A and B are shown apart, each in its own frame.
Chain A
């Protein structure tokens, strides 16, 4: 957690410096309701990405309490799986998503088996180990694929924009690809909630989380459950990487970009309930979009991060945590 705070802190400082350097804004064009409505819709697009990248972390941190600083690298792995399949077999992006899930889940399982398993109950060592892991994973990917940016093609049928109302210059629109991201994120959230709360496997996962010893006594194969849960969380990160790969840039350090945002989302929403991720993503995404529209991007970053630090100070358990007995 300290590293995470450190990262948030350092990016806050650099953003503050940026803010100080920003020249006084030139007179803004007249405030336009259409543009603002567009911006709120844009916020939905940002929320989609936050939700997607935060969801895997909600499993590995929220459910399992593993401080996984290599989360961003699992996102990167997913993106590279899509890239490899697309360039080698000319596969459609949508078809590569299951493979991205399977591959990152597999890597996640191996990581759990070899590293995480030995560090349960020692969060600081886990933090260092996963941090090291993130450097190693970036290095390996760079050795194989070089540092060059990679190109992942978007499927031709998710092109263009959905016009919500209006037309021409006055249209309020959102791109189909952003909508696609939102839909995928919501589906995955629903699926995860279903698995966690409606299946026996989910019940076992929650049992292991709440009391490992007791679950063991009752015949739950805890080590298998741990591995499966961690692998699932990593797999979700892989899906996120695959889905956003064609909208953003694919390069070895890309995961770092999402790591801080994913952590903010999970911490703000609260880690005990899945719905917290949705709330966290919505809160951060929309406020970022609104502030960025009124001021500018670097300023939005500063303000949202600062607000979040204050939030964590007064509600360390996040927004959506029900009070439980100690």
Chain B
């Protein structure tokens, strides 16, 4: 078992406990206020709600305490706060979806603990980089398989297997981050050095670049084949950021940005839906009766919220199409106002900060790059969708991590969170902040080996 006397770990975990508890109190308070605002009654199911809330929060916290007790203390509380506020908003929009979101939260926290349990040595994952490459590629292409994939809301990003519908893209991005981290950790120097002389320039060997270009190609395929601009943009950013950080070559950043501009321009002229997105971004008002309606309603909602918001349950966010999903930020901006919306921004910045701090602390390139990649996914995805809703960038439909309704998204983000926490815990071990005790798997293997040595001492002698 872990060393409970360890001071640093104990301090981190007790901080996390208090913060998680605070996130729970905020969630419960918001839930009550939303019900008071909507129906002027204390929510009838407040006790079961509190029980479920406490169960979810405490299992996640105990999971960390048990399996990653040296990890950063802010990641989990901020994630649960976002999850809680999102849940209150969803419950306020639709009773039915709230029930489902509860189930997804359970699954998400279970996946969170499972990942922490199964992956105890995060560096081990780098060995499976090609597996992750094929998993990621397979997941990405899955919606395009006839009979399995289907479109909803214009994007072909869904897969239906039996009774279960899910968005494989949500998991593909984690697999691709794992692949990028593994591949770049091994080859970053070769890629950075540039040993292939073309004219006056030294370029990386084509065979080193090929996997990266293949990954980039996937993001184009996703954009063209699935009309999923948001995910495409996210993959592309992930790719550029990770290559840039790994190689420390600004030229890759420049080339990446060039590719992006070229790709975006080509997409604009090739696809009607891209042109529409840009047009409603610049002027939703003249297309109010058509595609601009959703953005216009989001603007009205945000304006109606003003600085302090209408108050939970007192606004009118049901008028925004997809308020539970891509547009949940507008619903939050309406009912919680500029204050509430800014709190969401700060929450994401805190997660970004914790993620990048983890990346800086760890010394292993794979862990470093993985932490950067996972943080990029989280921070950039939130930026893309929030920016889309408030017209900073053209709208591309993706979920707001931890906040939006949706099983795939929530579970995938809890998996992502578990990996970040695992990296954080691992760096704490390597920095000597907590004793690097053997994991379950290692102790189990050691027991097996011991037993084997007892029974067959000759094997040990043969080995030496």
Chains A and B belong together in one complex: no
Please list the residues of chain B having a beta carbon within 8 angstroms of any beta carbon in chain A.
none
